[in-house]
Amino acid sequence: MQKCCKNCYHYEACNYFLKKENKHLGSCEGFVCGHFKDKSLIVELPCKGGDILFVVDYEPGEECIEKVKCRSIEIDDSGMSIYCETIEGSCDTYVPGDFGESIFLTRKEAKKALEE
């Protein structure tokens, strides 16, 4: 196995398909990578469906951290939307720019934001 393969964005996919064909992973050049030439089309999501996230509510006198569940992520002409559901069942929509501002991946990050 070449060193570059482990660092390749498509390493897991190459490994999976080669194992299906009972081949060994040597170099993924042209195998899967040839199908994904335009790396500008790769989207890195801030979270995934099912993730538990933490929303900081900045209402005066009632600052709190609310636990929500990511229900889905949609990408359309206007950009990416992250749909989250509260424990009570209400839904809110966030965008990637909200991460680190009003929505966080951990309670610790949310607490730190409230303190600042």
pLDDT in tens, 71-89: 999 999 999 999 999 988 8
Strands laid side by side in the 64-76 sheet? 91-94, 79-86, 64-76, 52-57, 103-104
Between the alpha carbon of residue 30 and those of residues 1, 10, 45, 67, 68, the distances in Å are 15, 11, 26, 44, 42
The span from the CA of 56 to the CA of 43, in Å, is 26
Lowest mean pLDDT among 1-10, 39-48, 71-80: 1-10
Tell me what the mean pLDDT of segment 4-32 comes to.
63
**Average pLDDT along the chain:** 79
- Indicate if the pLDDT at residue 29 is higher than 60: no
